[in-house]
Amino acid sequence: MKSNYPSVVIVGRTNVGKSTLFNRLSEDVKSLTLDFHGVTRDFLKDTISWQGRFFDLIDTGGVSLQKTEDELAEKTRLVALNMLEKADLVLFVCDGTTGVLSEDLAIAKMLHKLGKKALLVVNKSDTHLAQERQYEFARLGHQPVIVISAQHGLGIADLLEAIVHALPEKTVEQEEKEVRCRVVLLGKPNVGKSSLMNLLLKQERSIVTNQPGTTREPISERITFYKEDMLITDTPGIRKKHSVTEKLETMMVGRALRSIEDSGIVLLLIDAHEGRISDQELKLAFYTFEKKYKALIVLRNKQDLVDEDLQDSLDFSLSEYQFFMKKIEQLSISCVTEKNIGKILPLVDQVWHRYTQQLPDERELTLLFQQALAERPLFHQSMKLEVFKARQVVSGPITIVMRVNNPQWFGSSQLAFFEGVLRAKFDLKGVPIKFVARRGKIV
């Protein structure tokens, strides 16, 4: 969904502190910041408010004017240049400790050529060396020059004042409608998450190459489907824990898992061409559905590469976990041929409404459970289990509080019985159910 807010794009050569500045202004650690070259690849976006003015802040990978033979570096460069061309205002970030380098001069020349309104931001200016070199930046030809330290928060208020003063008057003066339906794309590296993100958005939002681990940070975009606003987030690929050795990848995986916490629905992509669901993918599915109580849709991608033997192998692999798979939605897709891509958002919409639905009132729900127990009594040793009352206390996820004779007798197998009763009665595919057993007859 296109934003009504003006865009403020952060540009500069690599490792000058653009991501640290983005995090400081957005008041949220969304961008990975490590002290080596070229950590940010995709662009990140957040809506910023300052003194009643709103704007979209965008963090890009380091801008390079030189074409490169490296596919990933070239796509990162083109994404940054594309965002720059669309910007309403540019924050041109330089490193106060190094002074002006040839790359800074080249970017300054490019901004003049594009006719972009820009604020020159000299970062890392809290050192004695940086203070000695501040005069050098006048040669870049951009005014005003704003001196900051993104890491320590120095000069940030002055920068925000300068931004809102330089913004065009098209700024919208009210809050955007809150997005309730939050969808996360999850899966192993190179399984097709970024390709799917681009197809759903109908634009090149995520950088896509054949190189595993291209996406390093969760990136989100809003879309509207059937009048329902959705926030879709592409996440870094998650490998087995013992395979994750570098600090950067550890941070990437941590952010992907934290994205589950903020979601309502998870689209777990698996590689159908492998002919089986891996242990890692099963763990992600169980973690999402049974531990975090998020709605789950499994998308079997790369279906265009699957022959009959591979399909039989995949079906057999999934059938081994039928007790779990029957609870969730599955769809075979291909991001290459776009097979069934048009079915994903309608399915997401259906699952979202199941996830947020309100089941019948306390009287009907209690009667349903009591009738089920009358037909098939449950016992703990020789003691009969009883449900006095049951009611739904919240949705998203559906949470049922039951008043029972002894909560300790209602373990996982007993609660699975009541889950089965609900799933047989209502349309709950793809939706987890959370139960809370409490002692007593009074709710």
- CATH code for the domain in which residue 415 is found: 3.30.300.20
Query: For the residues of 327-345, what is the DSSP string, one character each?
Result: TSEEEE--TTT-TTGGGHH
Given 356, 390, 408, the domain boundary residue is 356
- Cα(150)–Cα(245) distance, integer angstroms: 29
**Is there a single domain that holds both residue 349 and residue 371?**
no
Give the domain range for residue 399: 362-439
381 contact partners, CB below 8 Å, separation of at least 6: none
What average pLDDT does range 107-114 have in this prediction?
87
**pLDDT band for position 351 (cuts 50, 70, 90):** very high
Q: What is the pLDDT of residues 390-429, one digit of tens each?
A: 999 999 999 999 999 999 999 999 999 999 999 999 999 9
Q: Which residue has the tokens 């809150």?
A: 178
**Is there a single domain that holds both residue 85 and residue 147?**
yes
Would residue 1 count as lying in a domain?
no
**Is there a single domain that holds both residue 159 and residue 198?**
no
**pLDDT band for position 229 (cuts 50, 70, 90):** confident
Amino acid letter, 78: L
Would residue 422 count as lying in a domain?
yes
Q: What is the residue-averaged pLDDT of the chain?
A: 83
User: What local confidence, expressed as pLDDT, does residue 37 receive?
Assistant: 44
Q: What is the pLDDT of residues 18-45, one digit of tens each?
A: 888 998 888 754 444 444 444 444 567 8
CB–CB of 126/153 below 8 Å? Answer: no
User: What local confidence, expressed as pLDDT, does residue 130 receive?
Assistant: 61
Output the six-digit token pair for 142: 């951009």
**Is there a single domain that holds both residue 200 and residue 319?**
yes
- CATH code for the domain in which residue 234 is found: 3.40.50.300
Amino acid letter, 214: T
Handedness of CA 236, 242, 243, 246 (dihedral sign): positive
**pLDDT band for position 124 (cuts 50, 70, 90):** confident
Output the six-digit token pair for 60: 């890009």
CB–CB of 61/18 below 8 Å? Answer: no
**pLDDT band for position 213 (cuts 50, 70, 90):** very low
Would residue 172 count as lying in a domain?
no
What average pLDDT does range 298-321 have in this prediction?
94
**pLDDT band for position 144 (cuts 50, 70, 90):** confident
Q: Which residue has the tokens 């069934």?
A: 340
pLDDT at 341 over 50: yes
Q: Is the pTM of this model over 0.95?
A: no
pLDDT at 316 over 90: yes
**Is there a single domain that holds both residue 112 and residue 38?**
yes
| Packing angle, helices 193-201 and 344-355, rounded to 10 | 90
User: What local confidence, expressed as pLDDT, does residue 335 receive?
Assistant: 93
- Cα(299)–Cα(268) distance, integer angstroms: 6
Output the six-digit token pair for 294: 């998020």
**Is there a single domain that holds both residue 112 and residue 195?**
no
**Is there a single domain that holds both residue 305 and residue 199?**
yes
User: What local confidence, expressed as pLDDT, does residue 149 receive?
Assistant: 92
**Is there a single domain that holds both residue 197 and residue 339?**
yes
pLDDT at 120 over 80: yes
pLDDT at 334 over 70: yes
Would residue 174 count as lying in a domain?
no
Q: Which residue has the tokens 């000299």?
A: 122
- Cα(340)–Cα(363) distance, integer angstroms: 41
- Cα(287)–Cα(34) distance, integer angstroms: 29
- The number of folded domains in the chain is 3
Would residue 171 count as lying in a domain?
no
The secondary structure of the chain in percent helix, strand, coil, rounded to multiples of 5, reads 40, 25, 40
pLDDT at 438 over 80: yes
- Cα(382)–Cα(95) distance, integer angstroms: 75
Q: What is the pLDDT of residues 58-101, one digit of tens each?
A: 887 655 566 666 666 666 667 777 778 888 999 999 999 888 99
What average pLDDT does range 325-351 have in this prediction?
96
**pLDDT band for position 171 (cuts 50, 70, 90):** very low
**pLDDT band for position 288 (cuts 50, 70, 90):** very high
**Is there a single domain that holds both residue 333 and residue 435?**
no
Amino acid letter, 151: Q
**pLDDT band for position 295 (cuts 50, 70, 90):** very high
pLDDT top residue among 229 and 282: 282
Would residue 380 count as lying in a domain?
yes
- Cα(244)–Cα(212) distance, integer angstroms: 13
